[in-house]
A = this chain, B = another copy of it.
Amino acid sequence: MRAPFMTIWPGSMSKLFFEKLENLDTGYTRNLKEVLSQLNYNAQGLVPAIAQQYDTGEVLMQAWMNAEAISRTLDSGKVCYWSRSRKKFWTKGEESGHTQTLKALQIDCDGDSLLLQVDQNGPACHTNRPSCFYLMVKEDKVVISSDN
């Protein structure tokens, strides 16, 4: 499943590639390596990746992946992101033990966003909250919506 020498195409090629998939019926397949090579990575070679708890539907966090992080995730079954602040690969839970086991990987219509269905071990957030999205807008305030 790994594609270490994958060619990454420019954004305009990526757009055309995903447009051609739009009208295909359910069950139609394409080669994984080909699709991954066509993802619409940003100038830093990254795409946003959303982690959702596969059985409850809770959105846990959003981080970033490059091609190698996607390959590592698919190879190991444990979610690996690219940390923009630390500028290195970051296998979720490598320090905290709060790993994410990959259940499914979904790609969006224009190939510039990933949805990871995961089984989260422990809290997803570094604050020890279940989800990173704990700041809730309520009228003219923002409320902390879960304890750490």
- Kindly provide the distance from the CB of A46 to the nearest chain B CB, expressed in whole angstroms: 11
Cβ of A94 under 8 Å from chain B:
no
Number of copies: 2
Minimal Cβ-Cβ distance residue in B for A141: B29
User: Which residues of B sit under 8 angstroms from A57, Cβ to Cβ?
Assistant: 52, 56-58
CB closest residue in chain B, given A147: B26
Are A105 and B137 closer than 8 Å at their CB atoms? Answer: yes
* A133 in complex: contacting residue of B30, B31, B108, CB < 8 Å: B108
Residue ID in chain B nearest A142 by CB atoms: B35
For residue A32, which residues in chain B have a CB less than 8 angstroms away from its CB? 137, 139-142
A13 contacts the other chain (Cβ, under 8 Å)?
no
B22→A127 contact, CB < 8 A? yes
Tell me how far the C-beta of A62 lies from the nearest C-beta in chain B, rounded to whole angstroms.
Answer: 4
The answer to whether B108 and A140 touch across the interface, beta carbons within 8 angstroms, is no
- Identify which of B33, B48, B142 contacts A29 (C-beta below 8 A): B142
